[in-house]
């Protein structure tokens, strides 16, 4: 799998562009991050921002949001 965002959830929550992203790593692993930034950010900008600056989810939460991922979770 190519490193980078491979799954995402995005929504606007009261004027905040909000996202959860699943990001593949270079070692064949993955991690998930959540974050938000003020609108009028574009969806793409928000997804990229969250992948770089978001709060990392625990493996339990990440697998609840993205249950079909069959990779090792990066701790």
- pTM (predicted TM-score): 0.94
HSE on the CB side for 16, CA within 13 Å?
9
Q: What is the pLDDT of residues 1-28, one digit of tens each?
A: 899 999 999 999 888 999 999 999 999 9
For the chain, the distance separating the N- and C-terminal CA atoms, rounded to the nearest angstrom, is 18
Q: What is the pLDDT of residues 24-46, one digit of tens each?
A: 999 999 999 999 999 777 999 99
| C-beta of residue 7 within 8 angstroms of C-beta of residue 24 | no
Gyration radius of the chain over CA positions: 12
Which is nearest to 43 in space by CA: 2, 74, 10, 3? 10
pLDDT for position 29: 97
């Amino acid at each position: 799998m190519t490193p980078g965002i491979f799954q995402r959830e995005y929504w606007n929550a009261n004027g905040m562009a909000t996202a959860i992203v699943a990001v593949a790593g270079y070692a064949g692993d993955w991690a998930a991050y959540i974050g938000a930034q003020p609108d009028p950010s574009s969806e793409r900008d928000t997804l990229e921002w969250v992948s770089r600056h978001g709060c990392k989810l625990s493996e339990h939460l990440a697998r609840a949001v993205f249950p079909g991922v069959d990779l090792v979770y990066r701790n």
